[in-house]
Structure 1
């Protein structure tokens, strides 16, 4: 541990009694010196987990655990506990988590998963004390409850996307495509059977892993939205709430279960802002295998502070470290929390995450302190250099019916001055933020290059429902893009990379049978599902229609391109007086229009009445089968009466060949080209039956079946 009495009080911990602590600070003493804590003692186990164990022991002795509350402020209780188990995230010493996973499982870890150097799962609270002796453990903390980006039923989003028109015109429904969903839970509320009975869910939803208990079943709400847009698609679900490593492995499991469209609506507060963490890495891994990945952009609007670290040279009485100057000679930032509101701050700085790369970790140790009326009410002071992750998290909730103004202090405890500080507030929208920079809030895996981040526009603010809005209007809470990436595999980039985020916008506020609350805006009594959590599954379902309704291979990069090309341009309300033509960091490229996407696909669209080889084509023609990533290859119409078009789009200067053979392997047609090949050939003289079309690009190949009728 480091030189603080409060040490590592992170989000979700039950804080120690603050009375003696406040008295010590009032005297201007170091908390550590006042209590005689050993200066150089370091612990593998976060103070939060120690407190969880202490609270359980207190309950066993029938004494109440201490919960801090100072003048209406209390700790936000976001440690996840299930029947004597707590959800943990642990990093390994050796850089490979397989050995750590085995050691933790021997100690009682349940539902364990590993990815990179991280392990997560359910660990018995009674055995937390023994974690200090686990040889392969570097550090362990709770996996705090992540944010869900929320705010006989058919989603109105289906109409606003015009996917209803696509199904009617082209006779497509997503048959042959499987959509994977990640959220908190699927059937904790025992309503799945009723959803199947009412026709709002398919009967064969594959649940790979559900949350043990206590979930809202938001994943089932997302499934209802997907089923409305792509009713022929199969669905699968995996919880994303059992830690980052479990989330990452859930992504892989869904892809391995055959999901070609995967969507989530979850963000962890400890996901790296400036580097791809394990969840982002898993998402990009499945994209490389041939599955498209969609994530809700987030509901944090512009609730972010971002600025270069300004070393004031000043210290705050009782706190060790050089305070960050928010303004000239001002090291305290005032934030006004609304009545009964919350403040959840994840602070990060430009250092690499050991938990993300397994090689390089934090070089600087930063701490946060929160004051109310001069009294210290909350702190986050992990030893970042020891645990390797440059993140500090504070969470408080107001119990007052009046706004409360708190003051935030950020200090550098040790190490070099970082280039940049950034925090995102995942709590309520503040009434006031001093020195507010209104910065980007799309971070974590939604900010990964190959992930499609989806913003939200209420369906009733789209042209299909409101003739006074010729262009959809973005929801104010929809998160802002622009978070820079500084590191790759722990190595600092020569120049920070900023991706175009969000890519597109989709609808929210639509009906489900159970999730959310009914709004008076519509005339029915069904609950309305708001937030980017609702927008992302809508857009993923359009991707399922495209993949299931098109002849040949349509890799993730082409799905993404066609969704972007279809989008109805929207205005960024953060730049009043100027229409932001094309991409902007609030709305992306605009609101997805399924009918435009299908028009652009032209005669490659096939009716599902002719899909005798559709499922086989989708799997055989995938990137995972052998073609280079991003290659598009198709043969259509299929089945054909003779006139056949071969279409291949590859990277620059890559050689292409197309060979058609009968089932005996005898070659009946061959052609070749470079980078782009589009050729219509009359094969009507061939005997009717099935043939194999082999596409070869840059020495890699894939095959599709071709039927001549």
Structure 2
């Protein structure tokens, strides 16, 4: 084994457990205010389907459809659900809800994936046929290859990442590139050679980024590679290229960049340098240390000024396997013969313990031009000779500065800060308390940052990881849930001391990781374990979390293509869910003791701002609602005129069936008693030289269909019952091989039964504490929504179906991962409860339906806000509306005609007293209130119309006076309605009477009748004026 055999790394976590052996469809009907109309279909591509009652998808049907059509043809249910969809993170983030509600699939988005290799193992064509990849074999419409370059790196992690992206954003175009060398030059045998290789790798990385940005014009980049031999305390050339891409420089569009945090948890130490001269520590230093020990300054690890300790105890319980210890200090990083480079001669010494005494073991090695050194924890051989010994699990570290500098000159400058990291890629437990196994770093009770380099760049988004099974979507009852960080996810907090030119600046601590995303979803081939026992490889690590976020970003960007990368990050962060990291009842993992960044109430270095939630982020971006006012429309013109009063406390509901009556609760049960056979899983393609198993298994799926129709409103509750058994020859004890998923007409899917997982997170680190199947065989099982009964819990939260339409075809998908036996679904039934959403108007007559009750009309049809009215009233407005990208917040005002009720008789004649202290008055100015108090025994909202007049009566409209004495004579219908409405005298109206010139003191000025769309007084009321 050579020293640098595993320097270039991806951040796929290597888990520690072994892999077990192993006719045309009916249209659905959905919510629509106009009518129940078909929206989504169960397509027949690659599908064997009985008449509207069931369907089957197997490996053979997918392959045959691909061979016949020359393209992938997995069947599709609803808006974007594919039977070949893998990746449980899709459900964990509720990304399927985003696709269903907003009709987004990543269409028009280009996503660049940077990783190790793509098709070195072979298998890409198979993945395309199965529908787990888009067609990436050729070129896009512009002639650019989807595989920008590839290398013979036998891992194809990039293809696994692409599968995760495709499951969430199925219509996005995916491009792959790698900075890894085409030719394997072998492991470097010296620090200088390792640094040269790292510098060349960094230059290729920059070229890859520029290729994706300049030529491909990607919208999003996701990567999962890192190299410890890059600058930690300043932005190297990769970090600078990342920021260049995000800024959108040189005429390019800005790119949202997502980078994997890493899987090294908090196995690190960093500190300001507290140099202590030899005379003060000579008693601590073993005599076995070679050379002149008096020429060194020794770092004091103990922060207590009263004590000095130059040896830091370190313990890692797991075995070392090509793991390295890296240290860097605060000096500029040399690149391309730059003038700035290391000028501080520092070393790391290792000690072990023998018979209770510390013994010098050896020291890390480096290149004087660079502020770093390293040591292979498992030792090093060259030419069959052991040149460096393996360190034991417990060892001691000393960091020292050589005051004499380097032998070749220079190096006398004192360090002020240093940091060491052990790169384990998830193979060691974190530093914490009360863990079954715990790493220990003395004087670093909380560990420290293991995010560095371009993963810690200023403008990109660094992504940490949570297990998909610890997200709220995978809890049957969200009130019992609290998600947690994966036990390997890297902590942020590495400071930046220099600008890109190597000039020292004020220390900058960046808010990385920005957020956490779910990981450990399935792929067809990539992964090192199968914890959920479905025979599909689970892709773990921040390498898996990162493409999941990138795919969600594609959905968000399709929803609003004007979003900048910073705005995408902000929407994801603002909708994220904080993760607990220091609960009293669980193992403790505290944040590193570092300067705060951002909002300390929402950000910490282990988890950023928390777990992303695709549904909530999309809701922020779409920001849809239906709003409006309810008013008394006296003029019956559909417009709230002056005097049309708002109606407070009016219930407004979304009328889904057009009957004008709110359906407050409707429950319907539909059964399917047709037995359904689920075929056995298929053994298929074996990648060349694959390192895990020589056999891949593709589960078979079948679906039993139930169709609902004429249910008003949206879902508020759901209950499912099923009976399944193992046929003769089947093994009921192998029930962990059968998985049930409920799929709604919109394509939203919720796993009902499967493998219940707990573990590999900070609340339950290490191996799984629970790994139990929830599928019940041989007897009827009932699943309830939001239940506290374990016997009736769904594997994932059924609340994903809330506020979505009930009408249409529902599928109970049964997946069989057993390659040797078929299983039988005897029957199942589904009970849905719906109601039409309702809100109440406020004092201004205003109402609003929030986005949580709504979807784009392309998914569910038009909406009709409605008020339930008695027979003697009706709505005067057009209250149908649609929601879409060009109409996110439609306003629907609801005018209500006044009831046809008798009003009090007007007095036959009355007089209005006017003030004679005002000269004239000519004309006589008065108001509606003057009329109402003079004509009626009590003031009410009655309206008036002038019947006859001597002279002229005018009403003020804005800044002008309008003659309302006689009916209008226009032939324009719209203008006629407007003028007729103006004639009506309403509350708050101001009027004036202009007497005729020949009779200024007429006995009768004019006459009135009461009005409410028709005459409501039997006689006229004569009005005259008197001076007071």
Whether these two folds match at TM > 0.5 is yes
TM-score grouping bracket, smaller chain normalisation: 0.5 to 0.7
Aligned to 2:265: 301
| Structure of larger gyration radius | 2
Contact 2:498 2:505 (C-alpha < 8 Å) held by counterparts: no
Matched, 1:336 2:268: no
Aligned to 1:38: none
* Structure 1 pair 456–577 and aligned structure 2 pair: CA distance change class (3 A): closer
Per-residue deviation, 1:608? 12
* Structure 1 pair 268–608 and aligned structure 2 pair: CA distance change class (3 A): farther
TM-score (norm 2): 0.43
CA distance in 2, matches of 1:608, 1:292: 29
Aligned to 1:451: 460
Q: How does 1:61-140 map to 2 (within 5 A)?
A: 75=3, 77-78=5-6
Aligned to 1:311: 275
Matched, 1:602 2:622: yes
Contact 1:333 1:434 (C-alpha < 8 Å) held by counterparts: yes
* Structure 1 pair 277–609 and aligned structure 2 pair: CA distance change class (3 A): farther
Unaligned runs of 5+ in 2: 15-83, 138-145, 182-200, 249-253, 381-388, 406-411, 430-438, 592-599, 625-850, 860-882, 892-1028
Contact 1:177 1:234 (C-alpha < 8 Å) held by counterparts: yes
Per-residue deviation, 1:165? 0.4
CA distance in 2, matches of 1:545, 1:356: 40
Q: Which of 338, 347, 350 pairs up with 1:358?
A: 338
- After superposition, give the CA deviation of every residue in 1:48-72 in whole Å (9 maximum; x if it has no partner): xxxxxxxxxxxxxxxxxxxxxxxxx
Aligned to 1:198: 130
Aligned to 1:699: none
Per-residue deviation, 1:538? 0.3
Per-residue deviation, 1:301? 1.1
Unaligned runs of 5+ in 1: 1-11, 15-74, 79-143, 611-635, 645-709
* Structure 1 pair 585–340 and aligned structure 2 pair: CA distance change class (3 A): closer
Q: Which of 444, 453, 471 pairs up with 1:436?
A: 444
Q: How does 1:327-476 map to 2 (within 5 A)?
A: 327=302, 328-342=307-321, 343-355=323-335, 358-372=338-352, 379-384=363-368, 387=369, 389-397=370-378, 404-413=393-402, 414=405, 415-427=412-424, 428-429=427-428, 431-436=439-444, 438-466=447-475, 467=477, 470-476=481-487
Q: Which of 150, 157, 182 pairs up with 1:210?
A: 150
CA distance in 1, matches of 2:220, 2:623: 23
CA distance in 1, matches of 2:525, 2:551: 20
CA distance in 2, matches of 1:442, 1:577: 17
- After superposition, give the CA deviation of every residue in 1:244-303 in whole Å (9 maximum; x if it has no partner): 111122111111212110011111111211111111111111101100100011111111
CA distance in 1, matches of 2:504, 2:856: 47
Contact 1:549 1:608 (C-alpha < 8 Å) held by counterparts: no
Aligned to 1:325: 300
Per-residue deviation, 1:306? 0.8
Aligned to 1:223: 162
* Structure 1 pair 259–319 and aligned structure 2 pair: CA distance change class (3 A): farther
Q: Which of 487, 504, 518 pairs up with 2:529?
A: 518
Per-residue deviation, 1:164? 0.4
How big is the alpha-carbon RMSD for the aligned residues of Structure 1 and Structure 2? 3.4
Q: Which of 600, 603, 624 pairs up with 1:583?
A: 603
Aligned to 2:102: 170
Per-residue deviation, 1:371? 4.3
Larger helix share, 1 or 2: 1
Matched, 1:264 2:223: yes
Contact 1:349 1:418 (C-alpha < 8 Å) held by counterparts: yes
Per-residue deviation, 1:199? 0.6
Contact 1:459 1:507 (C-alpha < 8 Å) held by counterparts: yes
CA distance in 2, matches of 1:376, 1:191: 51
* Structure 1 pair 292–395 and aligned structure 2 pair: CA distance change class (3 A): same
CA distance in 1, matches of 2:130, 2:154: 22
CA distance in 2, matches of 1:286, 1:510: 29
CA distance in 2, matches of 1:463, 1:173: 23
Aligned to 2:582: 573
Contact 1:156 1:510 (C-alpha < 8 Å) held by counterparts: yes
TM-score (norm 1): 0.62
Please, which moves more after superposition, 171-180 or 436-445?
Answer: 436-445
Name the SS for the 1:441 alignment partner. Answer: coil
Per-residue deviation, 1:492? 4.3
Please, which moves more after superposition, 222-231 or 406-415?
Answer: 406-415
Aligned to 1:3: none
Aligned to 1:533: 543
Name the SS for the 2:378 alignment partner. Answer: strand
Please, which moves more after superposition, 466-475 or 366-375?
Answer: 366-375
CA distance in 1, matches of 2:336, 2:9: 18
CA distance in 1, matches of 2:261, 2:341: 27
